[in-house]
Amino acid sequence: MSGVLVDEHDLLVLDLDGVVYVGAEAVAGAVETLTAVHRAGTALRYATNNASRTPAQVAGHLRSLGVPAETDQVVTSSQAAARLVTDTLGDAGPVLAVGGPGVADALTAAGLDVVSSADDRPVAVVQGYGPDVGWRQLTEAALAVRAGARWVATNVDPTLPTERGPAPGNGALVAAVRTATGAEPLVAGKPQPTLFQVAARGAHSPLVVGDRLDTDVAGARAAGMRSLLVLTGVTRPEDLLAAGPLERPDLVGADLRCLLEPPRVVPRAPEGGWWVSGTAQVRLHDGRLQVRAGDDDVQMLCAAAAAVWDARDHGRGPDLTEVADQLRDVVTTRR
């Protein structure tokens, strides 16, 4: 597979929701691509902010889709939260688990005493997503936090991808406890670096692959790792154009099949006034997008994003909606 993106890395750290699958269905091209990558010898690890399931359950789901996965290849934000608790508190006392079975399982595996009531005087509360989390669990969490327990959130993702569209994520549930207590949690999952640091142990050149700018890309940057944004989840091209300095990926792909193709790199500097990605050459002039060459939609997006970011960083921010419309017009006209 000489000259393709995956050749540049010894490990892929892959987000799941919106990258490998959405709900119960695999994303187009994911199974075939990851099977080919695995057979070629590149290591795979799956790092998810979804704390509701255990690593064994996640690996089983991946295998049911045809994706190569073993339990020890899965790292969840529940595991990162358990590590955060043990690093800060050791085994000083019981921990209240709020969320799906993945939360309690990770805490137990870390040797912590798991409880379900604030009456047990927990020293910490670990809150993660679970489809059955309701008022009673949130109330126990709020009571424990108000009594002085250290509050750790597995993640604060506002939404969770589903087959029917975005649904409330753990961030929405965390907001309920925040409202009731006035407290702020420590965050174990993305965009904090802990999850990626655990997942990338032993690797020399890991690549983080995700669909979210605010968690996957920002988390990779916080961990000092290269990032690839795929457009199969929540991020739209116009969202990429609007990305702030801490949420800008190194590479972009339509889906995971880009791993087996030459990389679409977001340029970091212009060439003769033009931003170049592959065959695409783009610049902004008086707030208007100008295209000199390009026959690849994603390369065009990479070059346009770089041009917009540079303009915004220098106080010349164009109208993002207008630029996105111009970009769509260029792509449509070329087709």
Give the Cα-Cα-Cα angle 49, 53, 55 (nearest 5 degrees).
Answer: 85
295 is catalytic: no
Rounded to the nearest angstrom, the gap between the alpha carbon of residue 203 and the centroid of all alpha carbons in its chain is 19
Which is the catalytic residue, given 15, 105, 214, 297? 15
Measured CA distances, 187 to 84, 162, 216 (Å): 9, 23, 14
User: How long is the chain?
Assistant: 335
By C-alpha distance, which of 291, 309, 196 is closest to 249?
A: 309
15 is catalytic: yes
Q: How far apart are CA 228 and CA 249, in angstroms?
A: 6
Q: How far apart are CA 10 and CA 327, in angstroms?
A: 34
Measured CA distances, 66 to 1, 53, 198, 309 (Å): 21, 19, 25, 39
Strand (E) positions, the chain?
A: 11-14, 21-22, 25-26, 43-48, 74-76, 95-98, 114-115, 124-127, 150-153, 159-160, 167-168, 186-187, 206-210, 226-230, 251-253, 275-277, 280-285, 288-293
Q: Which residues contact 124 (CB under 8 A, 6 or more apart)?
A: 85, 89, 93, 95, 96, 149, 150, 151, 152
Q: How far apart are CA 57 and CA 44, in angstroms?
A: 17
> Residue 55, preceding bond cis, omega within 30 degrees?
no
By C-alpha distance, which of 56, 59, 64, 81 is closest to 14?
A: 59
Which is the catalytic residue, given 17, 157, 214, 250? 17
Catalytic positions: 15, 17
